[in-house]
Amino acid sequence: MLIADVDESTAAATAESVRRAGGQADHHRVDVSRAADVRAMAAAAVKRFGRIDILCPNAAIFDGAPIETMPEELWDRLLGVNLKGVFLCVQACIPTMKAQGKGRIVVTSSITGPKTGIRGMAHYGASKGGINGFIRSAAMELARQGITINGIEPGHVMTPGAEVLYDEEFKRAVEAFIPMGRFAVPEDIARAVLFLASDDSAYMTGQTFTVDGGVTLPEYPAGFPRS
């Protein structure tokens, strides 16, 4: 397993945790918005492990701003990481997967954009909606090569990065709105990724899984008046 991140120290720490658990892992610094970086990442994976069986493009940023005042640079930077980064990662890994005659690609999308919207996050929603469109078209191109590409649409996931965004009052309000009554933990998302990365999903491509605890289900958040 090659752990790639723009923050090399984070990538190294994650790789070390995999090794402590008995797995094989190395790390590599990459800025997924830069084609040269991504090509070097793919080459490093092949050099270290000899092949690329599974690709999981997961990088994302989410600085918010209203459309009216959003700097063009912010729009470009966010789509450069969130959307262009997916394209570059897939593009860089296709040749190796084609030569193998097999590959699994699992992309992290979101409910925001494909299913919901948030004020101040139009750029983020556009990037994730774009990912879903990319998945479907890429699936058509890659299916005959033995390569599947699918996506995960997480809901509210409590990670160290997300935790700093929620004060306790807002956290309780969000939890109350989620039908399952809790935020996802990373393992909830990982299980869905594992399925799509395995041969159990061999006949699936161009699809997205919503993993959100039911948060996109309510038509009336407070319940229908006569229920």
Per-residue model confidence (pLDDT) at position 12: 96
In angstroms, rounded to a whole number, what is the distance separating the alpha carbons of residues 195 and 25?
20
pTM over 0.75, yes/no: yes
23 part of a folded domain: no
Per-residue model confidence (pLDDT) at position 149: 98
222 part of a folded domain: no
The sign of the torsion formed by the CA atoms of 30, 33, 34, 38 equals positive
If one counts the domains in the chain, the total is 1
128 part of a folded domain: yes
CATH number for 178: 3.40.50.720
Q: Check: CB of residue 6 under 8 Å from CB of residue 22.
A: no
User: Where in the sequence is the domain holding 130, given as residue range(s)?
Assistant: 53-211
4 part of a folded domain: no
In angstroms, rounded to a whole number, what is the distance separating the alpha carbons of residues 158 and 133?
26
22 part of a folded domain: no
Give the pLDDT confidence of 133-153 residue by residue, as tens digits: 999 999 999 999 999 999 999
Closest CA to 214 of 155, 159, 153, 151: 155
Per-residue model confidence (pLDDT) at position 205: 98
List active site positions. 124
Q: CA-CA distances (angstroms) from residue 184 to 10, 98, 178, 188? A: 22, 35, 10, 6
Distance of CA 88 to the CA centre of its chain: 14
155 part of a folded domain: yes
